[in-house]
Structure 1
Amino acid sequence: MPYKRGKTWWISFTAADGTYVRRSAGTEDYAAAKALEQEHRGAAWRQKELGVDPPRTFEEVMVEYLGNAASSQKSFATTQFRVKSLQRHFAGMMMNELSGRDVREYSAARTKAGKSSATINRELAALSAAINWCVTELEWKLPNPVKGRKLKEPEGRVRWITRAEVDGLCRIVRKQRFGDMLEDFIRLAVNTGCRKEEMLGLEWRRVDFANRLIYLDGEHTKAAKRRSIPLNEGALAALKGRMAVRAEYCPTTPWVFTRKNGARVADPSTGFDNACIKAGITDFTIHDLRHTCAAWLVSAGVPLIEIRDLLGHSTIQMTEKYAHLAPARVRNAVSVLDMGLSQSRYSENPAVLQEGYLRLVKP
């Protein structure tokens, strides 16, 4: 019999083979849940007695996936949003019959609607994850034609601003409502490379002034990996500004970025976007503050592998998109050829050329 968990009805029954079945019906309507339970009972019987693999609709797959696997994801809200886009195309479709043509038609429709290849790939990744989960956990016999059908994405976007532009942006921010908070947010972002959610979720217990570090546990990071972030003078100044506000208005709040009533700041994007417009900075988002930090580090000659560790990238390939900002590295490399040419004017002796080369590359 269906039973309620919260506002949603769940179904449970014992199948003909003795297997106990319990799953979300994905509805708040009892009659619909009861009908779904009867449908599952019949399908289970046909599968056991007749060897018939029951048809699985798009809705069934997504109810199982969202109700069991995806609900524990940090980006659950984003996954739900992507599923809504998928539903407009695949609603009512039998997933047993899903084909590569269906996937291509979805990609074409979303492209026609003006969506980027990256957006479409993320949506299809949600569909693929749902299918894989049902195949692995529920042992449903479903094809997964999403595999191998990703669209080619353009090179990753890198948008950053100069130190002078950051200073100009902060001057404008200070004149806005909650300007002191937003300026500290911007300063901390460009000096640490933290993501927006990493900063908004930052608690004082994870700020170590003595050792000049911020500690992020796996639950706080996108890659679900623990990392510590060193604090330079700019980052320390931003945090001390937040601490002064806390001491004056809300000494018990656990949050670094908080309103004066102690509530955590939800999202400073509106104030940030307005400030960018006034500063004449176009095509720039809060996430680009992270790009700005990376760009400044690369331009200063910091090795990419160190930048990878600071930003928490899962692979060095993600960091390499900033490599073009350090042309001095390759300029120094080709200068070796000039030295070899210069030496050859005085001697064709290989030993002499080798000696000149070694002098050049010696640390």
Structure 2
Amino acid sequence: MGRKFTGYWDQTKGRWRAAIGEIGPSGRRRPVVLVGPNGKPLGPNDAAMVRWAIERQRAEIAAAGQPPNEGAVGPPWSLADLFREYRRAAVKARRRARTVADIDFHCRRFLAACGNRLACEIGPEDWFRYERLPGGAKRQTFNVVRAALEWAARPISGREPAQVIDRNPWRGIRPVRNPRPRGDAPEWDQTRAILRTMRAYARSPVSPRGRPRRTRVSRWLRAACFTFGAYTGCRTGETVGLTWKEVDLAAGIVRLDPDRAKTAKRRSLPLGRCARLIRAIASLPERHKTWVFWPSSCKSAREAEHWRWLREDVRPWAATQGRAIPARWQPYDLRRGWATDAIEALGEDRAAAVLGHSPEVLRTIYDRPGDRRARTAGAEVAAFRAGRKVK
């Protein structure tokens, strides 16, 4: 009975391959490129078409009268047999007891998740499927199973068969450092991780080694919360622990429960241009290495140009008020008094164009009818431009 092969991703060539071609001089099958129904080589996201391409290749080989896989390698091993023999080889090589225990633990863990199948059927898609499962220590499991597959793919004299599988299907795969499972309504893992980290640092004693780390985390948390508060009006305490269930992307509103709000009242905050950012974060790939929390200071040329334009208009008015213009624009500066008055002075349309908000969001966040300075800011700027004395 011939062996069954799944394809493997050839990272150097950038395409899927399978060892089901003609038998070469060494007695092993030469890998062939897997082609989809449209006649083009399968790409990295076409793992679902691999089995279809392999079955079509098998049918073509059978129609040509060539045996499916006769004489390529020895009889097939199950995954449990491979892990058991790999553990025995580690014990025979006098590996450390801790290393043998780790091999046993991670092999059992992967076997329980993927099932006891033939070792030759394991492919890259099995690791990608296992990577999305909940649980930790994914990199350790990957390293142990990849070492076992490499041991099975290497010809060893005295082993029956000498070569269990034709090659290591996981060679060239780079696992993600901290993969996070994502469901239909995932919680905001980033903020929850920040909260857990801050609690751990707050409870741990201060040491020369832990003090810089605590400082970095606290500064990053404060900047992220201030940025979110500038764009939505959320308080710092309300930002930490925010979940996706409280964010309504369709309506562009963050709905906070009374027990979460500082004033014990139900709050609805607009998202503005932050809605596009939240939607981009929610649609990040599962194996993305960089997680963007909230935008920092102006990074694009357009934002820098807007800030230069805003400073030219606000500088004379700020000089009359005896206030200093910040050297660098920060999003949370929008919550300060001079920015509120300047927005009222410039007008809603121009302020919305500068800050990237809509006029409705500006009225919701910055409109304070009871503030006398906000009501008279426009008149003061107009009087200053006209050359009249400002009270």
Verify same fold: TM over 0.5: no
TM-score for the superposition, normalised by structure 1: 0.27
Whose helix proportion is higher, 1 or 2? Answer: 1
Indicate the structure (1 or 2) with the bigger Cα radius of gyration: 2
